[in-house]
Amino acid sequence: MELEGKVSLVTGASRGIGRAIALKLASLGSSVAVNYVAIEASNKADADNVVESVIRLGGEAMSIEADIRNGAAVKAMVEQVTDKWGKIDILVNNAGINRDTLLLRMSDDAWDDVINTNLRGAYLCTKFAVRHMMRQEWGRIISISSVVGRVGNAGQSNYAAAKGGIIAFTKSIAREMGSRNITANAVAPGFIVTEMTNKLPPERRESMLAMIPLQRLGQPEDVAELVGFLATERAGYITGQVITIDGGAFP
């Protein structure tokens, strides 16, 4: 129970990688705030299911609806967490969307939606959460980037820009916050089994597998294990790093 007594906020935690991260942090003893946005009717039910799973593990959790693109909503979410548990120790910026298309076909809305959710959302959540970490002089900021943010990808210029921005943002925050014993790291997953990859045609999945030396897609739990480690004291001397978890696809 390395995180016993700690409080975590995980954005976009109702499903997929976010869900796996929330459950991992809870298994290590942390209380967990499960953020979701009510775009789909199932999101609240999914978030509540994560909370119930944490409680079954013997932990504490709460679900919070908030649009992380909105500063007032993020501020209220952070206040809700600190009102309940008195602090925030660990922030995982996981929430993200994609609106894939080639640049010449991309609408301004498709660009803005991805940048505002994936990058502005991480900025806002970090800005409000880190104030509490500074007061206690301990914190972990872990942001989910992507290998696409490192190497780019055709048809994903908006997504790549946002995920690349997270990497640069993380490195800057690490320099700003190091003196307060706050670490900031980015995790860059490759091809992970999620709802997004499950919708891909079989030939696309096969081409992805051909790129991976380990010959399998990653699981959300693979990412969660790394995030769990970065949240502990064992990772206290790791900051400003981008750690790729992709089965060797992009060395």
Residue 176's pLDDT is 98
Tokens of 134: 């500074």
Give pLDDT tens digits along the chain (251 positions): 999 999 999 999 999 999 999 999 999 999 999 999 988 778 999 999 999 999 999 999 999 999 999 999 999 999 999 999 999 999 999 999 999 999 999 999 999 999 999 999 999 999 999 999 999 999 999 999 999 999 999 999 999 999 999 999 999 999 999 999 999 999 999 999 988 777 778 888 899 999 999 999 999 999 999 999 999 999 999 999 999 999 999 98
CATH class (in words) of the domain with range 7-244: alpha beta
Residues classed as catalytic: 159
Q: Hey, where are the domains in the chain? A: 7-244
Residue 199's pLDDT is 76
Q: What is the pTM of this model?
A: 0.96
Helix (H, G, I), strand (E, B) or coil at 144: strand
> In angstroms, rounded to a whole number, what is the distance separating the alpha carbons of residues 85 and 145?
28
Please report, for residues 106, 183, 239, the alpha-carbon distance to residue 236 in angstroms, rounded to integers and kept in the order given: 41, 7, 8
Phi, psi values for residue 65, rounded to 5°: -85, 125
Is the distance from CB of 149 to CB of 188 less than 8 angstroms?
A: yes
